[in-house]
Amino acid sequence: MIDKLNSPQREAVTLPPQHALVLAGAGSGKTRVLTTRMAWLIQTGQVSPLGILAVTFTNKAAREMTARVSSILPIDIRGMWIGTFHGLCNRMLRAHHRDAGLPQAFQILDTADQLAAIKRLLKANGVDDDKYPPREVQRFINGAKEEGQRPSDVEAYDSFRRRMIEIYALYEVQCQREGVVDFPELLLRAYELLSRNEPVRAHYQRRFKHVLVDEFQDTNTLQYKWLRLLAGGGASMFAVGDDDQSIYAFRGANVGNMSDFERDYAHGTVIRLEQNYRSYGHILDAANALISHNNGRLGKNLWTEQGEGEQIRVVEQPTDLSEAQWLVDEVRGLISDGRERSQIAVLYRSNAQSRVIEHALFSAGVAYKVYGGLRFFERQEIKHALAYLRLMANPDDDTSWMRVVNFPPRGIGARTLEMLGDQARAFDTSLSSAVARVPGKGGSNLAQFAMMINKLSFETRLLPLPELVEHVIAQSGLMAHYEQDREGADRIENLNELVNAAAAFVIEADMSGLPAGVVVQAPMTGATTVIADAGQDVVLDPMQEGFNGLSPLMAFLSHAALEAGDNQAQAGQDAVQLMTVHAAKGLEFDAVFITGIEEGLFPHENSTSDPSGLEEERRLMYVAITRARERLYFSLAQSRMLHGQTRYAMRSRFLSEVPDVHMKWLTPKQGLGDSEPRWKTSNYSGDTYGRQAAPRAVPVPPKMLASGVTVGAQQFRVGQGVRHARFGEGTIIGLAGTGLDAQAQIQFRDVGAKTLALGVAKLDIIQS
């Protein structure tokens, strides 16, 4: 059983009955240690199978633990307590439902069911769901429960919080009356059962002699309290985890539990599993160097006997589009070399980044799969936005009508929609055509929705496609709806990315048929693409019928439908794996691309002012690096379309925290110096990726270093005020090129930074 274990693994498996903390680095065989420890305890007669409690976080991990123990020991282990926190608490409450104050057949609400129950509660009690949004109420209730707090335990320090506590109390009464529990309630009710019922607590303390915990760094406050109660009768607690991989603070995980456990229980019995069986040396040394910048670590250093392997390949591209194209070319090369697509992973910090990458893979005919999430055009908020756009193009689209007629909620209920459907069938018309036949308030609300669609169509009839999309997202109420949801940040990023998708579509559409020398300027962003050298420079009118005979909107909707449905991996198909870094935890691949390694993106801009947030971002980067077995890529872009506009980025600080000896730059460093981008000082005070003291440092693209250029009869210089017909007044903060090829980066007062081709854009110089 233990012959194939290395020395630290063997030490952990064969420990006598005592508390111990096992610091298990990435790829160090922690699951093997956990399962072998259980088998060792049983086979050596130290405990019966029923005297072990083993807890983890996912059903997949619990099944794997059970299967491994079963493969080692020739015994029936079905009665063993191996499972997730929620699964084991459910088992305990089923056995003691009366003591827990629950009906025997209590039902469990999943997250969606819980939200529906909260909405029903708010409506029944006349609570304004604009002031108290259901999702925020759900988050408040769950957060309190995960801290072990009932309504009477929560401090009411203002009127809003006092009302939230009252809603929490009403929710508890409703759940008790209906005989249902939500996920956080399972754990809280099980904790209260043990803490308040001495006979039940004593029973489990006598039964479980060994408590083993997987992924201990992901435990929250209440989970740790529950474990302490179970181990309070003298059981040995064996905690396995990695504080360097604690990346779920947003879910309530408390990385400090590991230090607390070492102090309260382990008392110095800390075993470090540092030999990595997954990755080559350059990858591990890079991860070690990066994570060493975090404070308060328990400390470990990964190493391998496999040798150094290849250096990390680093690529810096001018734009996110060229980054995606380079990535696709590299992926094709890996596939040509015999690499399985499923062993290639593309990781990104933000979900919104996937859209550009998906488009590049789609265009190249490379099958891919979005792991643990939806493809860009399948995401709820994107489908909602596209439904509004489809209704503007075709009001008789009943599927789109039904999708958004009451989203965001506008008081149109099921009964009203049923009446509408009856009228449409009776007169053989579309739903929109039957609106006038629905009486009463319901009919009035339907008419208002139809008028809104007509109004959007009228208001956007002359707008370029990206501005049209942006206007519809705002005026439909979608953006405001998700802004009210504190967990809606990803959805907002995706909606902004849809505007970027429209701008990119305008640039890319029908380029093959354009005359030589055309400069295509994207509305909104001002990004330009030169189709060929020399010739007459013109601007492609995004409103012309130049999209294979379709209007820009119809062409874009067709494009979205095709990308949503084609070239996606089928079940079992070999496909490139796309995912966020969070979704990648626990996985490993032969080749890994970590994209968008730019300040403000990775680390995320929301974390850079908070030391604890920045340390979690660094742990996230550590997780990303250690997913790679053989080959690792870092990629970044000097400019990226974010939130509907081009932003210039500086390299992530994480790149400077990895020693150069472990990296191989595949692109020239663009004359930017060894490790830092070149900066130009300006009095500009708007948003940048860096948090600099005034006067603030504004990142300038590497080629934008000219102090002045002449275009025709006009002279432009950095710091000069200019006026644009669409974007308003702004200040030039960077210049590049000469003559008609010159470009200017301009910080506009109202719409942010944009890059314009000076030979195309009509700019008036503001005389100072």
Contact 9, 33 (CB under 8 A): yes
Annotated catalytic residue, options 9, 30, 629, 747: 30
At 763, which helix (H) or strand (E)? Answer: strand 763-766
Residue 225 annotated in active site: no
Nearest residue to 649 (alpha-carbon basis) of 599, 691, 596: 599
Round the CA-based radius of gyration of the chain to a whole number and report it.
29
d(CA 206, CA 736): 76
Residue 618 annotated in active site: no
CA distances from 478 to 213, 393, 407 (A): 42, 18, 8
Annotated catalytic residue, options 585, 627, 640, 651: 627
Contact 454, 465 (CB under 8 A): no
d(CA 149, CA 183): 15
Contact 35, 253 (CB under 8 A): no
Residue 242 annotated in active site: no
Residue 146 annotated in active site: no
Q: What residues are paired with 746 via a beta bridge? A: 732, 754
Annotated catalytic residue, options 146, 182, 185, 215: 215
Residue type for position 27: G
Q: Which two tokens stand for residue 282?
A: 């350059």
Q: Which two tokens stand for residue 47?
A: 């405990």
Q: Count of alpha carbons within 13 Å of 573, Cβ hemisphere only? A: 13
Nearest residue to 475 (alpha-carbon basis) of 453, 497, 500, 502: 453
Contact 100, 176 (CB under 8 A): no
Instruction: Count other C-beta atoms under 10 Å from residue 281's C-beta.
Output: 18
Nearest residue to 111 (alpha-carbon basis) of 142, 144, 87: 142
d(CA 530, CA 262): 61
Q: Which residue has the tokens 């939200």?
A: 115
Instruction: Count other C-beta atoms under 10 Å from residue 104's C-beta.
Output: 8
Instruction: Give the sign of the dihedral formed by CA 353, CA 356, CA 358, CA 360.
Output: negative
Question: Which region holds residue 596: left if phi is over 0, alpha if psi is between -120 and 50, else beta?
Answer: left
Q: Which residue has the tokens 């160097």?
A: 289
Q: Which residue has the tokens 């504080």?
A: 243
Residue 627 annotated in active site: yes
Instruction: Count other C-beta atoms under 10 Å from residue 157's C-beta.
Output: 8
CA distances from 297 to 256, 258, 273 (A): 10, 10, 15
Give the list of residues 6+ apart from residue 228 with CB closer than 8 angstroms, or none: 264
User: For the packed helices 380-393 and 552-565, what is the interaxial angle rounded to 10 degrees?
Assistant: 140
Strand pairing class (728-736; 721-724): antiparallel
At 346, which helix (H) or strand (E)? Answer: strand 344-348
d(CA 120, CA 557): 36
Helix ranges (H only) for 517-632 are: 552-565, 581-584, 611-625
Q: What is the DSSP letter of 748?
A: E
Residue 177 annotated in active site: no
The alpha carbon of residue 338 and the mean position of all alpha carbons in its chain are separated, in whole angstroms, by 31
Q: What is the DSSP letter of 499?
A: H
Annotated catalytic residue, options 245, 343, 529, 595: 245
d(CA 697, CA 329): 34
Supply the residues annotated as catalytic: 30-31, 214-215, 245, 627
